[in-house]
């Protein structure tokens, strides 16, 4: 009798373990289906200085460091070991878009701009246009009143429009602070 009870308990325990393992597999498949439909929100990650084509074109060989900083802003990287080099790096990661990465490096000689190396830079208008993600899930509300709504709001000629009835104002208001003793 005890052996039969032990075997039944062991069999029940094995069924519970294997049933749990089989259940995990079905939950995993269900979560994969949900993950393909529902995506979590990911914030935009913007790092560095955005340098436009117009800013690049404003740089002229022979400019001072101060003039370059006025046009481009403070460099992202200014190394002590490379005092005659400033690096401007820009990266942007947005959900549903390709990551953007651009680099511009300016070189100085005797505190004067000697040369500029840069990736292909967008104009300011191109950059702003690339930031606008097309949204298809937005519904535009109807901005037109029906004839009945127009008639209800427009007053008859020669008569002022009826204002909604407001309750009368109180004769006096309670004090803001308690009376002093």
For the chain, the structural domain boundaries read: 7-35, 45-131
Beta partners for residue 48, in sequence order: 90
Segment 111-119 mean pLDDT: 92
pLDDT tops 70 at residue 158: no
pTM higher than 0.75, yes or no?
Answer: no
Cα 149 to chain centroid, rounded: 39
Segment 171-181 mean pLDDT: 81
Question: By three-state DSSP, how is residue 76 classified?
Answer: coil
Fold category of 45-131 in CATH:
Beta-lactamase Inhibitory Protein; Chain:B, domain 1 (3.30.1450)
Contact 121, 97 (CB under 8 A): no
* pLDDT greater at residue 30 or residue 56: 56
pLDDT tops 90 at residue 113: yes
| Mean pLDDT value across the chain | 79
Q: Which residues contact 161 (CB under 8 A, 6 or more apart)?
A: 153, 154, 155
Beta partners for residue 118, in sequence order: 104
Q: H helices then E strands: how many in the chain?
A: 5, 4
pLDDT tops 80 at residue 120: yes
pLDDT band at 22 (very low <50, low <70, confident <90, very high): low
Contact 105, 90 (CB under 8 A): no
pLDDT band at 40 (very low <50, low <70, confident <90, very high): confident
SS3 content of the chain, % helix, strand, coil (to 5): 35, 20, 45
Q: What is the pLDDT of residue 2?
A: 75
């Amino acid at each position: 009798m005890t052996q039969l009870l032990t075997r039944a308990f062991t069999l029940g325990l094995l069924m519970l373990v294997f049933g749990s393992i089989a259940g995990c597999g079905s939950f995993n498949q269900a979560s994969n289906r949900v993950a393909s439909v529902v995506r979590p929100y990911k914030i935009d990650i913007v790092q560095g200085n955005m340098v436009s084509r117009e800013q690049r074109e404003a740089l002229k060989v022979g400019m001072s460091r101060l003039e370059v900083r006025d046009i481009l802003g403070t460099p992202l990287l200014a190394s002590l070991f490379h005092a005659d080099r400033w690096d401007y790096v820009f990266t942007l990661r947005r959900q549903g878009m390709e990551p953007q990465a651009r680099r511009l490096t300016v070189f100085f000689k005797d505190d004067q701009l000697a040369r500029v190396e840069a990736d292909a830079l967008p104009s300011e208008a191109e950059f702003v246009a690339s930031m606008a993600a097309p949204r298809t899930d937005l519904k535009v509300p109807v901005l037109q009143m029906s004839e009945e709504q127009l008639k209800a709001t427009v007053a008859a000629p020669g008569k002022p429009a009826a204002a909604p009835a407001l309750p009368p104002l109180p004769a006096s208001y309670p004090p803001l602070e308690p009376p002093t003793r």
